[in-house]
Amino acid sequence: MLYVRRDANGGIAAVATSRQPDFPETLAADDPDLLAFLQGAGSGVTAEALARTDLGLVRVVEDLVTALVERGVIRFTDLPEEARLKLSQRQGLRHHLRGLNPVDEDDAIL
């Protein structure tokens, strides 16, 4: 059992694992409202919202790896083979797309 506090609209506002004065309601761990809250729906954060940031984060990681390699902090060959393959594929695809669309790379979202 988990203890919940609800907001003015009846939605779950907070969850506690132990009984507390301001958490008057108990719910089973498999309660649909509780599961939705714990998955982020109660806060407006969803798995879909997180997934929408993935592509941007991929580019950040690529740029970070490139900067570290260029500065000699790491060697490209230090990376696991799977990572090297994926980075090389993306670099080739971005290079090809730049050739098709000659926009300054800093302005492009590739």
Name the residue range of residue 31's domain. Answer: 2-50
Within this chain, do residues 60 and 80 fall inside the same structural domain, yes or no?
yes
Tell me: pLDDT of 15 over 70: yes
Whole-number pLDDT of residue 85? 95
Within this chain, do residues 18 and 44 fall inside the same structural domain, yes or no?
yes
Q: What is the DSSP letter of 47?
A: H
Give the count of domains, the chain: 2
10 Å Cβ neighbour count for 46? 13
Mean pLDDT of 19-28: 90
Mean pLDDT of 51-61: 82
Whole-number pLDDT of residue 45? 58
Within this chain, do residues 45 and 67 fall inside the same structural domain, yes or no?
no
Tell me: pLDDT of 76 over 80: yes
Specify whether the CB–CB gap between 2 and 27 falls below 8 A. yes
Contacts by 54-63, CB closer than 8 A, 24 or more apart: 58/90, 59/109, 62/87, 62/90, 62/91
Q: Sorting pLDDT into bands at 50, 70 and 90, what band is 109?
A: very low
Whole-number pLDDT of residue 101? 62
Whole-number pLDDT of residue 103? 54
Whole-number pLDDT of residue 1? 83
Within this chain, do residues 46 and 61 fall inside the same structural domain, yes or no?
no
Amino acid at 13: A
